[in-house]
């Protein structure tokens, strides 16, 4: 999960997302699911900003990749905050179920 600065334009936001998903793909990772939440108000100000652009990426990656991705996340000025989590089997099942539910709703509506 990554929070970008809210000052990014739509295209910049997409470019930033693409940058990181490409980075993962380049080094032998697989992005299973990308969910851009978009603009959201923060619970407390970060870097004097009260809103942020949220992106949630779910990916499979070898161990060495994580360090590389984190390095890039730390270097990027547009990234206000990020978090990389390891998902256990329940989490994967949960995400899969949630995803299927969302797509089913989209199809129905």
Partner 1 sequence: MAKQNDIKYLTSTRVEKRAKKYCRFKKLGIKYVDYKDAEFLKKFVNDQGKMLPRRITGNSLKFQRKVAHAVKKARQMALLPYVTDLLK
Secondary structure of residue 61 in the 3-state scheme: coil
Sole binder of partner 1 in the list 9, 90, 105, 106 (CB under 8 A): 90
Q: Which distant-in-sequence residues (6+ apart) come within 8 Å of 72 by Cβ?
A: 20, 23
To which residue do tokens 């080094």 refer? 27
Return the DSSP state at 76.
Answer: -
- 49: tokens are 């900003």
Asked if 44 is part of the footprint of partner 1 (rule: CB under 8 A), the reply reads: yes
Sole binder of partner 1 in the list 26, 91, 100, 104 (CB under 8 A): 91
Query: Does residue 28 come out as left (phi exceeding 0), alpha (psi in the -120 to 50 range) or beta?
Result: left
Asked if 94 is part of the footprint of partner 1 (rule: CB under 8 A), the reply reads: yes
Considering CB under 8 A, how many residues would be counted as binding partner 1? 16
Nearer to partner 1, 25 or 98 (CB): 98
Binding site for partner 1 (CB under 8 A): 1, 3, 42-44, 46, 52, 56, 81, 83, 85, 88, 90-91, 93-94
């Amino acid at each position: 999960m990554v929070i970008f600065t809210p000052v990014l334009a739509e295209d910049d936001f997409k470019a930033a997302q693409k940058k990181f998903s490409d980075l993962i793909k380049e080094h032998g990772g697989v992005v299973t699911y990308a969910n851009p939440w978009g603009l959201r108000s923060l619970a407390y100000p970060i870097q004097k900003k009260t809103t942020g652009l949220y992106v949630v990426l779910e990916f499979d990656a070898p161990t060495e990749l994580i360090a590389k991705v984190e390095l890039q996340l730390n270097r990027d000025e547009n990234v206000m905050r990020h978090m990389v989590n390891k998902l256990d089997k329940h989490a994967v099942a949960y995400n899969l179920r949630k995803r299927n539910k969302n797509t089913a709703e989209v199809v129905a509506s």
